[in-house]
Amino acid sequence: MTNRTGIKLLAIIILGICLIISLWTISLDYRTTPEVDPSKTGEILVPWKKQYCADDSAYSTGSDTLQHIPSMQREMTRKVSSENIFLIESTCSPHPLYRSWCSVESWAAQHPEKTVWFILVSPFIDDATGVRKSLLNQYSNIRIVTSNLEEIFSETPLWELFNSDKWLRGTSWAKINLSDMLRVALVWKWGGIYADTDSICIRNTSNLTEAVGMAANTRISNAILIGPPRHKVFWMLMKDIQKNFRGDIWGENGPQAITRVMNELCKTNNFIEIAKSGKGCANMRVLPIESFYPIPYQHHMKYTEDRKETEFAKLFNSSYTLHFWNKLTVNTPVSAKGNSILNTAAKTFCPVTYNIATLHSNFF
């Protein structure tokens, strides 16, 4: 009996120790596991996302019309190639602007041979107007996905910055900061094209395998980035953003960063001759202003002014894209009955989006 009693006592002690360890582990997990958002979405928010998405109504109130979208990494095949085109919705909103959908459609229409990835920070989308469904029905090369940003930034020079709070706290430009980091990590890892969602593609870019574009005589823009996976310029750009990050200055981690990198590689701060030569620097072509940014941001209102539709081809016969400088034009209503450059471009290059947008509003 004594031996049996001792064995039972030992068993009780072991079980007690296991219970204590189990409770301690649960407690630890409770402290370190991301919180579950109380909204109807039920999404688990990692710490950075909880702060980043705090002001977005979809995360505070939820919506009965939200639909889950697949993850780029886990639910869809991603290709490491130059056949990718990436566009980003870097806010937490599940309601992309019609202009963003227009951009996605224009790139898909001009590049049927490539895969167009529209990547949302949100894992949900609200397709109350049917634009997502219509585009997926019309274009077999469009993928509308969310993504694991931790995986994207892993094994890149931006990993430490992303995991810090420098890009998120004490700045008015958190969403711009994330977009500036995310775009270069995407093209460095998987190759292809990154394009801002305030660009409309009006010509196939397949002849451009490695390219950035001038936005002014001494400035390169990061709104369009083209190159194969693991390109040196993109690696240097990530290193520059990590080293020189400034959260208090708009554009410092975007246009200013790519300009610094190309200054170093080209040994000049005037890119006109580099663009004219067609040779580029470090296997990266520098394209003239009219290629991607034919109307400079200082003259952005020209996009929304009425003019003859017949002028369009003449004005942009050397352009691959039109960049609408959405930060400056997004609050300018464009009449659906007008003949502005924006209206003409949308009717021509994103007709599915344009028809749905103008069905619901008199403005685009």
Instruction: State how far the Cα of 250 lies from the Cα of 258, in Å rounded to an integer.
Output: 14
The pLDDT value recorded for residue 253 is 95
pLDDT, position 65: 76
Confidence at residue 6, expressed as pLDDT on a 0 to 100 scale = 61
* Predicted pLDDT of residue 10: 60
State residue 109's pLDDT score: 98
Region 171-176: what's the mean pLDDT? 90
The pLDDT of residue 222: 97
What is the mean predicted confidence (pLDDT) over 151-163?
95
Q: Which helix (H) or strand (E) holds 194?
A: strand 192-195
Band (pLDDT 50/70/90 cuts) for residue 306 is confident
What's the whole-number mean pLDDT along residues 165-189? 93
How far is it, in rounded angstroms, from Cα 295 to Cα 322? 8
Residues in Cβ contact with 221 at an 8 Å cutoff, skipping those fewer than 6 apart: 212, 213, 214, 215, 254, 255, 258, 292, 293, 323
* Residue-wise pLDDT tens digits, 226-261: 999 999 999 999 999 999 999 888 889 999 999 999
Average pLDDT over residues 199-214: 96
Strands 285-287 and 211-216: parallel
Which among 305, 324, 352, 95 is positioned nearest to 199, based on CA atoms?
Answer: 324
> What three-state secondary structure class fits 166?
coil
Domain boundaries, the chain: 66-289
Q: Which uninterrupted H or E stretch holds 179?
A: helix 174-190
The whole-number pLDDT of residue 39 equals: 45
What are the structure tokens assigned to 329, written together? 């034009």
Q: What is the mean pLDDT of the chain?
A: 85
Write down the pLDDT at residue 9: 65
The residues near 10 (Cβ < 8 Å, ≥ 6 apart) are none
Instruction: Give mean pLDDT, residues 79-94.
Output: 87
Per-residue pLDDT, 341? 92
Angle, alpha carbons 362-363-364 (nearest 5°): 135
With a cut of 90, say whether residue 54 has pLDDT above it. Answer: no
> For the structural domain made of 66-289, what CATH number should be given?
3.90.550.20
Query: Does 350 score more than 50 pLDDT?
Result: yes
Question: From CA 150, how far away is CA 161, in angstroms rounded?
Answer: 11
Mean pLDDT, rounded, for 265-279 = 90
Q: 80-84, 163-167, 352-356 — which is least confidently predicted?
A: 80-84
**Lowest-pLDDT choice from 4-13, 83-92, 198-207:** 4-13
Most confident of the following: 136-150, 305-319, 333-347: 136-150
